[in-house]
Amino acid sequence: MIYLIYKDEVSKDTAYAQLCLEAGTGSGEFNIASYLPLHLCNINLWLIPVAVLTRNKYLKSFPFYLGSIGALMALSSPGLGYSGYSLLLTTIWGFYITHFGVLVASLALVTLGLFKPAYKLIPKSLLFIEGINFCVFLVNMFLIYTGIYEYANFMFSISTSGNPILNIFYRILPVPFLYQNLLVVLLIPYMLIVTALYNVVCKYLLRKNKD
């Protein structure tokens, strides 16, 4: 419900709509398809509670490994329309609150003991991440080619929408969806490092409690 209210307020932001129109990332008009919660952090908003309720470790691995770094990237390098504007605008404060919330909730999965990173989870977690990304890409293609929403670009699988970090990878491999596989390659060492740090911290706390 909160998500729908926020999206409704964003749809009334005429300045942001005009900005998207000029940049070619939106029509400047309302389209219900743009409400689909299929961007990375939107997916995490509903996936985290589902993962906790079902106790599925692979569902939890998605927000922990990808949701946290994705939210951090978004906060550190806001894309088109999210930088240089007043924080009082609905579009802006909603952006920062949403991504900060995803970052905190993703890390809370581990700090609250709801998810335990493990090396053996990484291969299937990567397949799960790639599977969701590919499904979202197919949704984008369907919306575009049927004319339902020609600007569909959920999870930025079609284009970077001006995101400075994604632009780096798109310049290397300027092919929709495939350019994101470069990010997946970098995700592997990131997941290994994060899992290693988790094990180090756990061993340290275990020794400290014994002492």
Q: Are 107 and 60 in contact (CB under 8 A)?
A: no
Cα distance between residue 161 and residue 168, in whole Å = 12
Q: How far apart, in Å, do the first and last CA atoms of the chain sit?
A: 49
Statement: the pTM of the whole predicted model exceeds 0.85: no
Cα distance between residue 52 and residue 114, in whole Å = 7
Cα dist. 179→18, 26, 43, 157, 205 in Å?
A: 28, 22, 20, 8, 40
pLDDT at 53: 92
Cα distance between residue 139 and residue 148, in whole Å = 11
pLDDT at 207: 78
Give, to the nearest 10 degrees, the angle between helix 68-76 and helix 90-111. 150
CA of residue 92 relative to chain centroid, distance = 17
pLDDT at 173: 92
Residues 6+ apart with CB under 8 A from 33: 143, 148, 149, 152
Residues 6+ apart with CB under 8 A from 129: 62, 65, 66, 184, 187
Cα dist. 156→124, 133, 139, 173, 174 in Å?
A: 23, 10, 12, 14, 13
pLDDT at 41: 83
pLDDT at 3: 60
Q: Are 109 and 56 in contact (CB under 8 A)?
A: no
Q: Are 26 and 17 in contact (CB under 8 A)?
A: yes
For the chain, give the longest Cα–Cα distance: 65
Structure letter (DSSP) for residue 148:
S
pLDDT tens-place values along the chain, 211 residues long: 556 656 666 655 655 555 555 445 555 556 677 778 888 888 888 889 999 999 888 889 988 998 888 888 777 766 655 555 556 666 677 778 888 888 899 989 999 989 999 999 898 888 888 999 999 999 999 999 998 888 889 988 998 877 788 888 999 999 999 998 888 888 899 999 999 999 898 888 777 777 6
Q: Are 9 and 94 in contact (CB under 8 A)?
A: yes
pLDDT at 171: 92
pLDDT at 68: 86
